[in-house]
A and B are shown apart, each in its own frame.
Chain A
Amino acid sequence: MMEIQTLQDFFLHTKSITYILMAVILIGMTGFWLFLTDRDED
């Protein structure tokens, strides 16, 4: 990987990863909520 020399490139790098993580989180949280509550009686 090329070395990051500017703040802009650093942010570009971290935000790109963060965006992917955010998509995973949104889907994952939905699944987790179902796991947490699917034995609730009601």
Chain B
Amino acid sequence: MSQEAAVFGETSPPGKSLYTPFNVIAGIILIVGFVITILRFTKGLGAVTNLDNNYPWGIWIGFDLMAGVALAAGGYVTSAAVYIFGMKRYHSAVRPAILTGFLGYALVVVALHYDVGRPWRLPYPFIMQQGTTSLLFEVAACVALYLTVLFIEFSTAPLEWLGLKRARSIVVRLTMVLTIFGVILSTLHQSSLGALFLLAPSKLHPLWYSSYLPVFFFVSSVIAGLSMVIFESTLSHRYFAHKMDETHLAEKEGVALGFGKAASLVLAGYFTIKVLGISMDNNWHLLGTGYGMWFLVELLGFIALPCFLYAVGVREKNLCLIKWTSGLTVLGIILNRLNVCLIAFNWHLPSDEKYFPHWMEIGISVFVVTAGIVVFRFIVTRMPILYEHPDYKDSH
């Protein structure tokens, strides 16, 4: 077993036990996060954030919510590919993708509790007054429903782990319905996250503002989902290879090649509609400005380049290149969400009035991501995620 595998392994021998580098770093982050959490909920948002009246949304929305939801798209993308489009050869990728998706959405909801002013009122849109003209209502409804769908989809793993065969068979019978619901709900809220900004044409820079925003967000979520599956599978293989069964190991390369090819194709489409977006709004002249340069960095460096690199990787069966490209693509999606939500937002404001996150905001974001990794590790080392439970082989 490699050193990393030993660090991340499920059980450490007693004696040297708990004080592994991973545990120590994660522990420190969790403690700091805990302290900031207490500050946030006793002193208010003002005490831990740099949010102001011009920038009501910071990185807890721009990164944790916007990027978080996009990166958790692997769940619906993979289950749709396998169950709806019938690509059975990617079956072993479904469970890790669903788990990543479920944890992603769960953490988005956790992060939201930090961001909204009165988190205990989060159910109000459903139980008190329905502001149905708000795209945020649409997002809230879909995220709540989709989190439930993901939980049910994921529940097969703990049910197998706990040996509850009857409950498991009920859930398995629901697979198709859940998958289709998942795709509908994801289409809706992924696109609606972009549509949130349709209401602010005077605040979002015209290069990013487009009536195509919902389509951009939906298409890029597919790219994010595909890339996250490759990215997550790379990391999993590095740290949890001993947990993978032969099917998983055998299908792994096929998953990277197939998903890399799909991501390349969708990136090409995304690039095309982004360019068409500039054309539709006649924004060519803005490309020469400072924001235009930054837009081109995103368009060429984080959309066109990964599209090309994926294509080369797939043609040459270069798995290493595909893996690195998946990381680049994921960064590109995060950059896009930050651009729309923070950087190109309020572009009229002088630079000294622009927002930069407080270190405690970053602290909470890191805390949330770390919590996700710790829970992922806990689940993957115990439940049948990267391998099939021996009792249920060939049951799909």
Residues of chain A touching chain B, judged by Cβ–Cβ distance below 8 Å, are 8, 11-12, 15-16, 18-19, 26, 30
Contact = CB atoms under 8 A, between A and B. Distances in A.
A19 B137 CA distance: 11
Interface in B107-144: 130-133, 141
Contacts of A11: 132-133
6 contacts: A8-B133, A11-B132, A15-B132, A15-B133, A16-B130, A19-B130
Contacts of B132: 11-12, 15-16, 18-19
Interface string B168-194: 000000000100010010000000000
Interface of B: 130-133, 141, 177, 181, 184
B133 A26 contact: no
Contacts of B130: 16, 19
A30 B176 CA distance: 10
Contacts of B181: 26
A30 to B, nearest CB: 6
A23 to B, nearest CB: 10
A24 to B, nearest CB: 14
Nearest to A16: B132
A26 B149 CA distance: 14
Contacts of B184: 26
Contacts of A8: 133
B174 to A, nearest CB: 10
B177 A30 contact: yes
A18 B184 CA distance: 16
